[in-house]
Chains A and B, each alone.
Chain A
């Protein structure tokens, strides 16, 4: 269990048998097991296996799959289904996610639980199919118009794709907020053994707000629109308080060899696996370095950095972008020590050796006898 906290606390009951699954299929199966019964999507590589799996398997559980005419339409179908009180998901890749941003802003404003998956392409523009983390800003800083936040989960294995997909549905219902699972072509396409854990369902609020027909109750209205600025401000204050609560309660991260570390490598998703290998190599050379892996990108795990206090001499982020998460790391430590970047872009990934070489380049004093 990663450190940090969550309002979703589970007791494990039994472990079922192991399956060898592709990341995208594992997400889809985990979603169905989590009670997702509606899926609206539009095909796009490298996420298409998710919609194919849903199209094939949802009818068997009395669910419904619709291939929309566009991502614009797909996200608005999710908006409708979430408002009707049903667990719903969509999945896409970067250019498709861009098309969904308008609808996502409405979903956030109306506080509806929708789970989204972005198997990121190496944008901007059409973007290649190789692994990339260039959508970090879009995922964590907004993307659509207005002042809203998504809960953003960043798995780094097929097992974690399964576990976090399930958590995504519970978190969405718990906080009445859209949740984005962000991964890349490596995680979506690779196969690893997974188990689907039988877990206790957390206690979640009833969806008394759903528009299901006003039988036996006052009518429900789903809208965030207000011509009166006073109502507009009251809405914003309510959202702000919710986001502050999520930021305080839902930070998750994993740390590795960090207790005695003079330096810390920060990486999430695919690059965290590479960075871990680099940290292991560095440790064999006697370099005191650890790994901090954010599991939630929003809320960013600032508590993890606070817990390290002033003992870390420098940070290195490993990213498949021109450097996006590095800004949050600098904010988390208030720019107290140097933060450097090791990156590859456009679908390329660094090797552990490249990460270690970059580490030694920016932190020469970390090496015994270094200057």
Chain B
């Protein structure tokens, strides 16, 4: 009799993801979903996905999901968590979202001690729009909108 020792987490849907090869969002989604499964909280979780490559995360996480505007996920999560303090509320944000347009929302959610969880995925660029510089972009990288310019030198 075969024994299942490895399977897709319950907290992931069956939908094939749209992410670019090698971006690792798929792996990170899986890790988050495994944790949700391990904690047994799939029915008790609300996820918030803002703008960026993560915008379609509601297609992949098999939990109640909420789509926020660019950078505002921690504020939306604050609103949900204050209503539903016994639920697990998480945001899934890229670096353009969290560290640039949404820097105020994440800093102040932390300052207030909001009981939310944030998965911060930093690829050091704006991925969805084609690789523009982000506040997290490291020195000595070449990318649009300043091709050929060595950043930080």
Query: Does A85 touch B at the CB level, under 8 Å?
Result: yes
Would A83 and B55 count as touching, CB distance under 8 A?
no
Q: Is the interface of B mostly helix, strand, loop or mixed?
A: helix
Tell me the residues in window 61-83 of chain B with beta carbons closer than 8 Å to chain A beta carbons.
62-69, 72, 75-83
The contact string, 1 if C-beta is below 8 Å from chain B, for chain A 219-249, is: 1111111000000000000000000000000
Would B64 and A213 count as touching, CB distance under 8 A?
yes
The contact string, 1 if C-beta is below 8 Å from chain A, for chain B 94-132, is: 000000000011011000100000000000000000000
State how many angstroms separate the Cβ of B48 from the closest Cβ of chain A: 7
Tell me the residues in window 46-80 of chain A with beta carbons closer than 8 Å to chain B beta carbons.
64, 66, 68-70, 72-74, 76-80
Would B105 and A214 count as touching, CB distance under 8 A?
no
Complex CA gap A110/B66 in Å reads 10
State how many angstroms separate the Cβ of A224 from the closest Cβ of chain B: 8
Task: Give the chain A neighbours of B67 by CB distance below 8 A.
Answer: 110, 221-225
Would B83 and A84 count as touching, CB distance under 8 A?
yes
Query: Does B150 touch A at the CB level, under 8 Å?
Result: no
**Which chain B residue has the least Cβ–Cβ distance from A210?**
B64
**Which chain A residue has the least Cβ–Cβ distance from B88?**
A213
Complex CA gap A73/B87 in Å reads 21
Task: Give the chain B neighbours of A74 by CB distance below 8 A.
Answer: 75
* Chain B residues within CB distance 8 Å of chain A: 42-46, 48, 55, 58, 62-69, 72, 75-84, 87, 104-105, 107-108, 112
Check A73/B105 contact, CB under 8 A, given A40-B79, A79-B79, A80-B76.
yes
Among B46, B68, B105, which residue has its beta carbon within 8 angstroms of that of A212?
B46
Complex CA gap A302/B45 in Å reads 46
State how many angstroms separate the Cβ of B109 from the closest Cβ of chain A: 9
23 A-B pairs with C-beta separation under 8 A: A38-B82, A69-B105, A70-B104, A72-B104, A73-B72, A73-B75, A73-B104, A76-B68, A76-B105, A77-B75, A80-B48, A83-B80, A84-B80, A85-B83, A88-B79, A103-B72, A110-B67, A212-B46, A212-B87, A214-B63, A215-B43, A215-B44, A221-B64
Would B83 and A38 count as touching, CB distance under 8 A?
yes
Among B46, B72, B76, which residue has its beta carbon within 8 angstroms of that of A213?
B46
Among A73, A78, A110, which residue has its beta carbon within 8 angstroms of that of B108?
A73
4 closest residue pairs by CB, A with B: A80-B79, A76-B75, A223-B67, A215-B43
Among A68, A103, A212, which residue has its beta carbon within 8 angstroms of that of B69?
A103
Instruction: Point out which of B44, B46, B87, B112 has the most chain A C-beta atoms below 10 A from its C-beta.
Output: B46
Query: Does A106 touch B at the CB level, under 8 Å?
Result: yes
Check A76/B69 contact, CB under 8 A, given A221-B58, A223-B58.
yes
